[in-house]
Structure 1
Amino acid sequence: MNTRSPRQPATVLALTVAVLAVSSSGPLIAFAAAPALAVAFWRNAIATAVLTPVAAVARRAEIRGILFGPYRRAGLFCLLAGVTLAAHFATWMPSVQLGSVATATALVATQPVWQGLIAAAQGRRPSVHGWIGIGLAVAGAAWATGADIAVSGQAVLADVLALFGAIFAAVYTALGERARTTLSTTTYTWICYGTCAVILLPVCLIAGADLGGYDNGTWLAILAVVVGAQLLGHSMFNYALQRTSATTVSVLILLEVPGAALLAWLWLGQQPRPEALPGLALLLAGVAVVILMARPRAFLRSGRRRG
Structure 2
Amino acid sequence: MPRPVPGPGALVSYIRTGDRDARIAYRELPDKERLAYRDTVSRVYDTALSHHFGDHPSDDQVHDLIERVAARHPQYAGGVRRVLRALEEGGPKGGINPRQILTAQHLVIREIAKLHQDFRERAQRIVQEASRMPVPVGALPDLSGSTDSEVFRLRSEIQAHQLKYLEMREALLDAEFTGADAASMVSVTLGLDGSLRALELMRGVERIGGRSIAASTVKAWVDAEKQRWRRAKDLEMHDSIPEIGSGAGSGDTFRCEAYSTSRLCRATVDRHGRLRGITFMRNGLFGEDGRHGLAADMREAITGAQHDLNAAW
Q: TM-score range by the shorter chain?
A: under 0.3
TM-score by length of 1: 0.24
> Which of 1 and 2 has greater Rg?
2
Report which structure shows greater RCO (CA 8 Å, sep ≥6): 1
More strand per residue: 1 or 2? 2
TM-score by length of 2: 0.24
